[in-house]
A and B are shown apart, each in its own frame.
Chain A
Amino acid sequence: MATLSLRNLVKTYGKVEVLHGISLDVADGEFVVFVGPSGCGKSTTLRMIAGLEEVSGGEIRIGERLVNDLEPKDRDIAMVFQNYAIYPHMSVRKNIGFGLRTAKMPKADKEKRIEEVAAILGMGDLLERRPNQLSGGQRQRVAIGRAMVRDPAVFLFDEPLSNLDAQLRTQMRLEIKKLHQRVGNTIIFVTHDQVEAMTMADRIVIMKDGYIQQVGTPLEVYHKPANTFVAQFIGAPSMNMLPGTWTGGGVRLADGLGIELPRRNATEGAEVVLGLRPDDLLVTDRKGLFSGTVNIVEPLGADTLVYVGVNGHEVIAKASGREPPQPGQTVELTADAGEMHLFDAASGEALP
């Protein structure tokens, strides 16, 4: 186990800079998830940590060691790939043990270690099988086993669940989390799926266009998003964004509706964006903050998502799952002022 430190990490391809000096400290045994849309630089960062991409600028330290110029094999890391990358011409036993072939330990100890790992992953009876005789989930377990067997300082996961179906993905998510609780190694996990990030991470690193947008625990990034990008990226469905003007005691929306808010760090008359999560914007029988006409209804079972047209904007709100409103119906929407988010319209930064 070890800490991981990134300092002003830069990556350029020719003249194009794709990673613009990111810095991050990961604690020993921490589970950190990098999340962001395609092209945000999360996989590039992971590959630089692994040593598969050269570092154009800045420092990477694993423990106290500067690893910028070390070969991947000398960094004490193990990586699980999106496509599993288990060798099809080798049995599960050989695949898992492959990382140990250069380890200076007796053969019997290697075999014992392979069987221990296989037992942890529930693959003890599949050791003699070839990858083409395994299901997708089993292949992913073999890939994790190959990483585990070396007991590396840092585990790197590059979108390992992307190729699994929804049910298996949920199951593997749980297994990886259990595995982390059991072995306690430092884990860097890359995904574009914010649900994976929220459910697995100790801390989430949200990236966009080669910059870190926010680092925080899942609840921090959900409840206190640093900017409009984070606010809309985390949470499904996305946060509703309503443009308006800060009046000193609240927001006057573009359609003239006024909403009172606790004092914020904004100058009167400033252009702002009011953020309301669909989970916090509820359909009510009483008089609400504003009313609108239901366009679309999406029943989810326990709840219903309701797409409501409000003075030219469409917002998503939540209604009861048992008696949902019908399309065309006029509904009242309400929200607690404490759950409302305010952002600067120009910079997108949160206004605390």
Chain B
Amino acid sequence: MQQAPVKVIVLGGGTAGWMSATALAKLLPGIVEVELIESAEVGIVGVGEATLPHIRAFVERLGIDEADFMRATQATFKLGIDFRDFGRIGDSYIHPFGTFGQPLAGVPFHHYWLQMRAAGMARDLGDYSVAVAAARASRFALPHGSESILSSSYGYAYQFDAALFGPYLRTVALGLGVKRTEANVVGHRRNPETGDVEALFLASGEERHADLFIDCSGFRSLLLGDALGESWEDWSHWLPCDRAAALPCLSASPTLEPYTRATAMPAGWRWRIPLQHRVGNGYVYASAFLDDDAACRAIVAATENTPLADPRILRFKAGRRRHSWVHNVVGVGLASGFLEPLESTSIYLAQMAITQLIELFPVAGITQADRTSFNRLVDMEYDRIRDFLILHYHATTRDDSPFWDHVRTMQVPDTLAAKLELWRATGRVAHYSEGLFLEQSWIAVYLGQGIVPHAWDARAALPTRDNLAQAMSTIEREVGAQVSGMLDHGAFLHAQTERLGSVG
């Protein structure tokens, strides 16, 4: 009746590795036996200092206390991303974790907003969004589902120190019985009949066997890429940024912003992520358009305060493995694919893969159907996020550098071209209910980057201008009232000492 547990080896002790090990051990007790192999000699990329709201469900499911987790990772709250200079130099908009306005008579709010904008009577779109207005005011409150429509019209994520997240999970995982082995993997053996990976060879001469291997070895993709030879689908022609120069500094801002800032640069963009104890900065650039030294100089020059270290160069490549689950190897994180950090999707992609793996977990042997279901979903997520990221570069009038000339004029994927056409002609967003970025996100970026439709829903012209103006100003006032009832983000955090990490 009780079967022997499925033996799982997680290869790699970075963020994806410890996320995988912790989730499997926590959610499948008695079903799995997890061993994580990590090498002290291999550094971790530490992807993502900024996250998406989905991480909250993940942390909660692992039974982790939010305050404890925030304290350990020096986390702040995040309501969205402020994109500057993307559509045009001088422009700024926030892509919020929340909605804009409310539908009226079944017609989405943005059609009415477009109508009033054409009449010169609309305020900035963000004034109708609690998440945007709160972010701009650097205020924060936890959303409440039950109080009103507006108080539940937004979500939040965290900005945290990624280098602290993995070790934090490691402590949790070890407490759940995950076995940690520090070793260098020097080879592997495959079953000559099935092609499955049977064993890993450690430098010490030992072997490690498992039923299922989770490849979290980062870009090296030791199992999925090297051992099984799964090919790589390269997307760098659409997403040419392939390096980042990262540089932490102390904050020079009197306020603690509950949002990440992404500022477009001549050969890419730079991030600014305020944490409790410091500010993360980095210049994400395309090496075809900028050399490393110039990137480092640029990020040093752009940094608001004394750097805490020298710039560190990270290298990456946009794309994904053709399949993420092959034989008995599942790639999670960078081993399976990478999309640049513009919308903070890295940790989400690892989380999504882990969640799907657990749902489809092969308790009585892996079937091709398990792999197919898993791969279909991973492909869908990657493809849709890819289109959304490309939009940020392509929807621009910038012609001030060869990089922006390239992304502005490149041919985008057909899937994105069709979405853009529909939007431009009708103000409608191609509808999907599965995947990461849904209608409100597309509206934020389209309108934020100046892609204004030529035409929109005829029903937006039905109310009289006065009635519409009144309805819109009611929403804007209510948003304002909601935000003025919130605390300053820094004050909110400091009032909750259980969420505060140590200083310095």
Q: Do A and B come from one complex?
A: no
Interface residues, chain B, with chain A CB atoms under 8 Å away:
none
